[in-house]
Structure 1
Amino acid sequence: MKKVITLLEQLVSIPSPTGFTKDIVNWIETYITDLGYDVHKTNKGAVIVKVHGARSDQARLVTAHVDTLGAMVREIKADGRLKLSKVGGFNWNAVENETCTIFTRSGKTYRGTILMHQSSVHVYAKSGQTDRSDDNIEVRLDEVVTSRKETAASGIEVGDFVSFDPRFEHTSSGFVKSRHLDDKASVALLLTLLEECKSGKETLPVDTYFYISTNEEIGYGGNSSIPEHVSEYLAVDMGALGDGQASDEFTASICAKDSSGPYHYELTSHLIQLAKDHSIPYKVDIYPFYASDASAAVSAGIDVKHALCGAGIESSHAYERTHEKSLEATYRLLHCYIQSPLV
C-alpha cells in the first residue's frame, strides 16, 4: 500500500475538476508510458491502456475517474469577490472555509478562500442560520482588490475554474484523509495494478483495458470509446458510507444497486465469490444517491455486463477519509478479478 498511497498523494495534489483535467491526464499519460505501455487518448480527454491477454477475441474493461468536484466563477461581485457555480454534486457547507485556487484562461493562478458572505458573527447575528447557497457563498481573493473593476483587471473572468485544496494526510493509524479520494484513490489502485501487470509474472486470461475517465462527476465519463469485444465493464469508484449502509472504511465495497438500478447480477456475484474464495474483506451494499461510469455506459447503450466496487470512503463529496485496509482489500479484489475467467 505504500506505493498506492504515494501515488494517491501525488494525484490529489494536481487540480482536476471536471472540465479542467488536461494537466492530470498528461501526468497519467507520462506515468503509464514510462511503465512501457501505449496510451490512447479519447477526444473527451480520457486515457485507455490495453494489457494483452492470452485471448484477444475476448476482453474486459476496468475504469476509474480522475475528474473531481470543483467550481467555476459565476460572477465578479461589486466588492471584487467571486460568486461560484458548482461543478459536480456537493453541498456548499462541504467546502465552506476551504482554501482554493482560481485558474484563469491566460494561465495565471490566484489563491482564495470559500466563505459565507455573512461569515463574521460579530456583524451578522444569524450567520449560523443563513442558507449556504449560491447567493451567499463567495470566494475571498488573496489579492488587494475591492471592486469588480480591480478583480477583472487581474485577469479573472466568468468561467474560470476553481479547485479546492486537498489537504492530504496519512495518519500513523492507517487512515488517509483528503479531498478528491473520489475517485483518485481508485486511480492510484489501477496505476499500481498496471505496473504489476507489466512485471510479466503472469499473463491475464483475456485482453484487459484500463480506462481513466474525465467526466464522471457530471454523468458521462466512461460511456464511449469502449472496444467492441469488451463484454465486462467494472467501474472502480468509492463505496458510500453512512446510516443504513453496510460498507465501511476497512473492507472492499461491492455495489449491488445504485440510483441507476441493479448492477449485472452474475458479474456482481462473481466479485463476491472472488472475495470469499480469497478471504478478502468485503461488504455488499446499495448506494441510494449514486451513479457510476459503468451505469453511464449501460445507459448510453453499451452492451456489457457491468459491476461496481471500490474502497469505502467516509464523508463522500466533503473532506473524505478511508483506511489502508480498505485500499488493500480493493486492490486484492481487483487483482483477483483481472486474473479470473470472464463470467
Structure 2
Amino acid sequence: MNYDKNTIIDSLKTILSIPSPTGYTESVIQYLKNELNKMNIFYKTTNKGGLIISFLGKNDDYQRTFSAHVDTLGAMVKSIKANGALSLLPIGGYMMSTLEGENCTIETLNGVSYSGTIQTTKPSVHISGDDARNLKRTAENMEVILDEKVFSKADVETLDIDVGDYICIDTETTITQKEFIKSRYLDDKASVSAVMYVIKYLHDNNIKPPCTTNFYMSTYEEVGHGASAAIPPNTKEFIAVDMGTPGCEQNSSEYAVCICAKDSSGPYDYNLRKKLVNICKKNNIPYKIDIYPHYSSDASAALSAGWDVKTALIGPGVFASHGYERTHIDSILAAVDLIIKYINEA
C-alpha cells in the first residue's frame, strides 16, 4: 500500500483535537472545509451542517456515496446543583464508568469555556468507603466539578453556565512508537481521516472514477439520523465508513479493514459485501467480516429514511468502542486501500 501514513496520522490528530459532540460540530466541519479549500475541491453543505464532496465519474447515473461521521459522544449540562456542581446527561451511548475522573470542557452559549472534571457523587473512598466503590456509574450518580471557586448555584450562574451547555470530554490522544492510536472518538474520526485522505488521493492523482463518487461527512450519526437526508439522489450504493468493533467473541481486528455483514439494523447488501471481500482478496488487503449485535450506522439511517440504496459498512477496527478507544495505523491504511480500490472498480 503506497499511501502516506504520516499525512493520515497528522490529519487524525488535528481532527481529534477539535471537540465535536453531536450538535456541536461547526468547528470540525470548518476545519474540513479549510482543508478542501486548500486543494480547491468543491463541496456542498447540507442544512444539518454536513459536507458532500463529489468526483464526477464516467457514469453519472449510477453513483456511489461513502459516509463518515464527524460527530462524537459528549454530554450536556442537565442542571446546576445547589453546591455548584453540574449534573449531566450523555449524548450517545457512553459507558458512564469510562468517564469517571476524566477532564472536560464546558462550552457556554456566549463562547466562554470552563474546565472541569467528571466525578461520581461519592468520589472519595476515605469518606464513603464501599459506598464509593459500589456506587452504580450512571448519569444521575455523576457530576462535573468545575475548576472555578464556586460554592452555590448562584456562583455558577454568574459564569453564564446554563442548562444545555455542551460538555466536551478530553480525548487523551496518544500515538505510540509502534503506531497504535489511543484516544476517545476514534469512532468515527479514524474513518474521517481515512476518507479525507482518499479525497486528497483522488484529487492529487487526477482520478476520474467509473461512477460518480460522493463523500458525505455527516453530523448526527451518534443519535441515529446522520445520513437520513441529503444523500445525492443518483446514489445506488451507500457505504458507511465507520468503526469495526474487535472484542469478546468478535472477528474484527485493529490491523485490518472490517466488513460488517449484519448489525442491529439488519443485514447489509449481500452482493455489495461479496464485491468488497473479493476486492480485498484480489489486492491482498487484510480484512475481517463480522456481525455487530448492538450497532447501527449512517447506512442504517439512510435505509430507515426510505432511501432505495444498496448498503455496506466498512471501517478500521476500533477496540473498546464508546470508551477510551484504540486502533492501529494498519487498520486505517487497509480501509483507505479498500475504498480506493473499490472506487476504481467498474
TM-score, normalising length: structure 1 = 0.98
Larger mean Cα displacement after TM superposition, 195-204 or 331-340: 195-204
Partner of 1:142: 147
- Once the two structures are superposed, residues 26-71 of structure 1 have per-residue CA deviations (whole angstroms, 9 ceiling, x without a partner) of 1111111221111111110100011111222221000100000000
Where in structure 1 are there 5+ consecutive unaligned residues? none
The one-letter code sitting in structure 1 at the alignment partner of 2:16 is: V
Alignment of 1:159-170 (within 5 A): 159-170=164-175
TM-score, normalising length: structure 2 = 0.97
C-alpha distance in 1 between matches for 2:318 and 2:232: 30
Is 1:73–2:77 an aligned residue pair? yes
Residue identity over aligned pairs, in percent, reads: 44
C-alpha distance in 2 between matches for 1:7 and 1:223: 27
Where in structure 2 are there 5+ consecutive unaligned residues? none
The one of 228, 238, 243 equivalent to 1:238 is: 243
8 Å Cα contact 2:63-2:214 kept in structure 1: yes
C-alpha distance in 2 between matches for 1:190 and 1:202: 15
How many residue pairs match? The answer is 341
C-alpha distance in 1 between matches for 2:205 and 2:267: 36
- Once the two structures are superposed, residues 270-311 of structure 1 have per-residue CA deviations (whole angstroms, 9 ceiling, x without a partner) of 111110000001000001100000011011100100000000
Partner of 1:215: 220
Partner of 2:38: 34
Partner of 2:195: 190
8 Å Cα contact 2:55-2:208 kept in structure 1: no
C-alpha distance in 2 between matches for 1:32 and 1:58: 25
- Once the two structures are superposed, residues 197-250 of structure 1 have per-residue CA deviations (whole angstroms, 9 ceiling, x without a partner) of 112343211111010000000000011111221100000000012111000111
Partner secondary structure for residue 240 of structure 1: coil
The one of 300, 316, 328 equivalent to 1:295 is: 300
C-alpha distance in 2 between matches for 1:56 and 1:128: 60
The one-letter code sitting in structure 2 at the alignment partner of 1:216 is: E
C-alpha distance in 1 between matches for 2:81 and 2:170: 23
C-alpha distance in 2 between matches for 1:241 and 1:73: 32
8 Å Cα contact 2:96-2:137 kept in structure 1: yes
Superposed displacement of residue 160, structure 1: 0.2
Alignment of 1:253-332 (within 5 A): 253-332=258-337
C-alpha distance in 2 between matches for 1:325 and 1:227: 31
Aligned CA-pair RMSD: 0.8
